[in-house]
Structure 1
Amino acid sequence: MTEIRQNRIGYIDTAKGIGIILVCLGHAITNANKSINVEHSVLLQFISQFHMPFFFAISGFVFGEKNFDNPIRSSWKKFKAYYIPFVVYNLIFVLLHNVMTNFHIFSNYYSIKEMIYDILMVLTFHIQSICGAMWFVRTLFTIVIMFIWVKYFIRRFLPVKYEEIMTGILVLIMQVCSLLNICPRAFRIDLTCAYFLFFYLGYLIKKYGWHQYITGYKYVFVAVGLLLNGLLANFYTYAIGGPCEGYVVLIRYIGQLSGILMLFAIAQIKIISDSRVLRYLGTKTLDIMALHFVCFKIVSYIIINVYGLDLSHMGDIPVVFGIGGFWWILYVIVGLLIPVVIRILFEKMRSMLRINFIKENLK
């Protein structure tokens, strides 16, 4: 068994667990209409520099070479893995829209016509606001499909030695288009172009064994990442809505790269990589992505009652605006725990139905 296989659960799933905690934390402290005005803006800036680039990087890291052998079959597999869960989760919130309006989570009731319209929008990769973090799944799906076919055609028409050169050129062209804001926004291709670079970086780290250097110098990468991103978080606001022009673009890339390498390194520190909790959370990232916004509403309801706020604040996304303190801790706990419990209950229910179905057919 190779080193990578041995570490697959121990540090890849751990890394994903760390990443999803940062996602929930970032949303839990976003307690203002504009991110730049949040109470813990430095912490949000620190997280926002690298947590989503890291998720794309680790998706590229675990991307298998076999996906290029049969692009049609691989595309179908990715369709089932990403598009179907995206649609299912968003459709659930469309169908429950009027029920959730009764709890002031939404401000208006849907007519049949509006519900049909939203269903069609979901089927064409549009996101319900309560399921906002699923933009990652949509973007990752687009990146993966593009990557499969780009690599397939490059391998068919170019010598092997030019494969990564041509792929790298295409990825850099997309990144330039993203910086120039000339990418189409349909199906958020602009996000695909922006994050493709990090997916490809993760793929290269795995392909060329660069992860071994991260393993060997993990404490250096952790120290440099914490120091560098801590300094950038205090002096620049590009990650939460500040300007990103000129030399600041280069600074952003430095923060993103150092943050990605830092999280890869942190996940390999033994006391962290051995954490069963982090590993388990790493296997439930899709459910947490999809459900933590709506689970946040439990904490929002508590806050509204504690402070005597108007129930319309149930519609604040991701959390109740204007309330500081340590409520973000409860938001994070609920945002991580409840989706996992929902998934466990769903799996048990499905297992019971399957057993009952088998029993009925054996009679």
Structure 2
Amino acid sequence: MTENRSRANIFIEQNRFSYIDILRGIGIFFVVLGHIYYNDVAYRWIYSFHMPLFFFAAGWVYKEKPIRDDIKKRLQTIVRPYFCFGMATILYWQLFEKSFRSADISFIQAIEGLVSGMYEHLSFNVHLWFLPCFFIVTVLFNALVRIGKKYRYDLSFPVILCMSAIYIFVGLPSLPWGIDKAFGYILFYKIGSFFSLSKADKRLQAHSISYQRVCIVFLLTMSFFFSYCSINQGIMWYVTAMLGIVSAWIFSVLLHKNRILEYLGKISLVILCVHGPVYRILIKVVSILLCWSTDAVRENFILSLLLTVLTLALCGICFQIIKRFFPWCIGRQRKKAVV
């Protein structure tokens, strides 16, 4: 009886996480589209929520761990991929892209940038900034929860509010490993954790499908309006971001199952790390075939959409190759052959 109940709980938990994978899949789709498509309105809307979404999703699946165990796991699943993909793209940059990209940095400067984890020093693969920042957020949040539990007081809430206030009202200089950005993004992690603990998904599912659809349309409209009018500074950055995040979250819960988006969500870390070189090569190839400038290709929505889909497909192939031959790069162990 206990075993059946345990299996049922695991099944329910997997179903809950399936739409978090869908949410991540939606997020990584917009990350790639936002990097390919040249359009100011689309840029402002996508950038208003696409990165906070990943912190929210990670907060949703957060589980408390001993601080040492958590750091060990995060080093394996975040820091190791950061340096592996960082070194791979530095070599690619030096051998191929450096000759036709505007940024001119030496091999040593690229290594220094990788070690610093600072956005402005990662021009060889600027998208990597997310990983060190994400590491800081996850480790700090778990430490706050553990320390607070020891003293029977929720430290995470007041500390994170103070960090957010500093980020909004005081501002911070650029710091190594995205520590300055962590001050802003950690609140989304906390909100995701709160949504999960309060069973927000169950409360949402208690409402009709029509109600959920109306919520999606309303929140998306407000999200687009705020970003279009540039009402996304200071505290409104959090409001605008949450409008986009919650609309995507409701859509994920409503959709519930989608193999493609779930798969993209599960491999979103690899996509984030490798999609830059992939889409730049594709854009160049298409521009040559059509005899268009690369800017003209990127200003065309249909072409940008097709390039986004193709980029994601190629990143999926990259993931399979990495999983098969270099699993340690993404924090996995090579499967031992059964004798």
Same-fold status (TM-score > 0.5): yes
C-alpha change, 1:23 and 1:102, in structure 2 (3 Å) is closer
- How far apart are the structure 2 equivalents of 1:203 and 1:75? 19
Question: Secondary structure in 1 aligned to 2:62?
Answer: coil
Is the contact made by 1:97 and 1:106 (CA closer than 8 Å) also made in structure 2?
no
Residue matched to 1:94: 90
- How far apart are the structure 1 equivalents of 2:17 and 2:190? 22
Matched, 1:199 2:224: no
Aligned length: 317
Residue matched to 1:317: none
**1:1-363 to 2 correspondence within 5 Å?**
1-2=8-9, 4-29=12-37, 31=38, 39=39, 41-65=40-64, 67=65, 70-101=66-97, 104-105=100-101, 114-126=106-118, 128-157=122-151, 159=152, 162-163=153-154, 166-187=155-176, 188-217=178-207, 218-234=212-228, 236-238=229-231, 244=233, 249-269=234-254, 272-306=255-289, 308=291, 320=295, 323-325=298-300, 326-349=302-325
- The one-letter code sitting in structure 2 at the alignment partner of 1:282 is G
Is the contact made by 1:221 and 1:258 (CA closer than 8 Å) also made in structure 2?
no
Deviations 1:219-269 (A, max 9, x none): 3431321221132233x1255xxxx2xxxx454333222222111110012
- How far apart are the structure 2 equivalents of 1:182 and 1:297? 33
C-alpha change, 1:77 and 1:10, in structure 2 (3 Å) is closer
Deviations 1:134-182 (A, max 9, x none): 222221110011112222222222x2xx31xx32111111111101243
Question: Secondary structure in 1 aligned to 2:139?
Answer: helix
Is the contact made by 1:214 and 1:264 (CA closer than 8 Å) also made in structure 2?
no
Is the contact made by 2:36 and 2:298 (CA closer than 8 Å) also made in structure 1?
no
C-alpha change, 1:220 and 1:324, in structure 2 (3 Å) is closer
5+ residue gaps, structure 1: 32-38, 314-319
C-alpha change, 1:336 and 1:346, in structure 2 (3 Å) is same
Question: Secondary structure in 1 aligned to 2:262?
Answer: helix
- The one-letter code sitting in structure 2 at the alignment partner of 1:63 is Y
TM-score, structure 2 normalization: 0.83
**1:309, CA displacement in angstroms?**
6.8
Question: Secondary structure in 2 aligned to 1:63?
Answer: coil
- The one-letter code sitting in structure 2 at the alignment partner of 1:199 is Y
**1:184, CA displacement in angstroms?**
4.0
TM-score, structure 1 normalization: 0.78
Deviations 1:5-55 (A, max 9, x none): 1414531111111111111111121x3xxxxxxx3x222222222222111
- How far apart are the structure 1 equivalents of 2:69 and 2:18? 29
**1:96, CA displacement in angstroms?**
2.4
- How far apart are the structure 1 equivalents of 2:172 and 2:80? 26
Is the contact made by 2:286 and 2:297 (CA closer than 8 Å) also made in structure 1?
no
Question: Secondary structure in 2 aligned to 1:129?
Answer: coil
- How far apart are the structure 2 equivalents of 1:54 and 1:290? 17
- The one-letter code sitting in structure 2 at the alignment partner of 1:339 is C
- How far apart are the structure 1 equivalents of 2:267 and 2:278? 15
Residue matched to 1:35: none
C-alpha change, 1:51 and 1:105, in structure 2 (3 Å) is same
C-alpha change, 1:211 and 1:303, in structure 2 (3 Å) is same
Residue matched to 1:34: none
Is the contact made by 1:224 and 1:258 (CA closer than 8 Å) also made in structure 2?
no
Is the contact made by 2:231 and 2:240 (CA closer than 8 Å) also made in structure 1?
no
Greater Cα offset, 147-156 or 320-329:
320-329
Is the contact made by 1:62 and 1:203 (CA closer than 8 Å) also made in structure 2?
yes
- The one-letter code sitting in structure 2 at the alignment partner of 1:43 is A
5+ residue gaps, structure 2: 1-7, 328-333
- How far apart are the structure 1 equivalents of 2:243 and 2:263? 25
- The one-letter code sitting in structure 2 at the alignment partner of 1:208 is S
